[in-house]
Each structure stands twice: as C-alpha cells, then as structure tokens.
Amino acid sequence: MKGVFFFILYQFIISIINVFIFRKPRSYEPKKYPKVSVLIPARNEEKTIEKCLNSLLSQDYPLFEVIVFNDASSDRTYEILKSIKNEKVKILNGDSPLEEGWT
C-alpha cells in the first residue's frame, strides 16, 4: 500500500513540474501569406461553374486569385463567368476551335 501511495505522489509531482516547465504551444500564424492561384479549366460548365466559383471565393485565405480558362464553351459558361463581379476572378478565353479529332 505504501508503494502505491509513493507512486501516486511521484506522478503528481511530475505533473506539477510539467505544468511549469512546458509551455503551451502557440498557434502558427505566418507573417506573410504566399499568393495562391487556383486554375480552373472550363468547357461547357454552365451547370456547375457558378457554384464552383462561389465556393472558392468563400475561402478565408487572404491572398489568392482564381483564373478561369473558358475553353471555347458553346453554352452559357462565359456569360455566367462575366456575371460574377469579384476582383479575384480572372477570365481567359480560348476562342480557337479544336483541331479535328480532339475533344
């Protein structure tokens, strides 16, 4: 019984020492965030492109851009892209038609 008491006392003393010796780690917050570019290839994506962009734009990362490459869409993809007014979104158009045999 005496041994159990000393074991518990030893564990208690070690715990108290650890509280004072080991500091709580600070959360990491970089001083400067690197710029992130998100590239989206879009071809006939009128059903999903707005939801995709809204999801990306709702991120809380402070320094990013979204570059959308509209690859000669034949649906309303380009009109939907133009309707999104946000300085983080850049639209590139690929107006040249695909070569024979390419999809």
Q: What is the pLDDT of residues 6-37, one digit of tens each?
A: 888 899 888 888 888 877 777 767 678 889 99
Residue ranges of alpha helices (H) inside the chain are 2-21, 49-57, 77-83
Residues 56 and 66 sit within 8 Å (Cβ to Cβ): yes
28 vs 2, higher pLDDT: 2
pLDDT at 47: 94
Residues 51 and 57 sit within 8 Å (Cβ to Cβ): no
Query: Does residue 95 have a pLDDT over 90?
Result: no
CA distance 46 to 28: 39
CA distance 93 to 68: 8
* Claim: this prediction has a pTM higher than 0.75: no
Q: Which residues contact residue 77 at a Cβ distance below 8 angstroms, ignoring those fewer than 6 apart?
A: 42, 43, 44, 45, 46, 49, 70
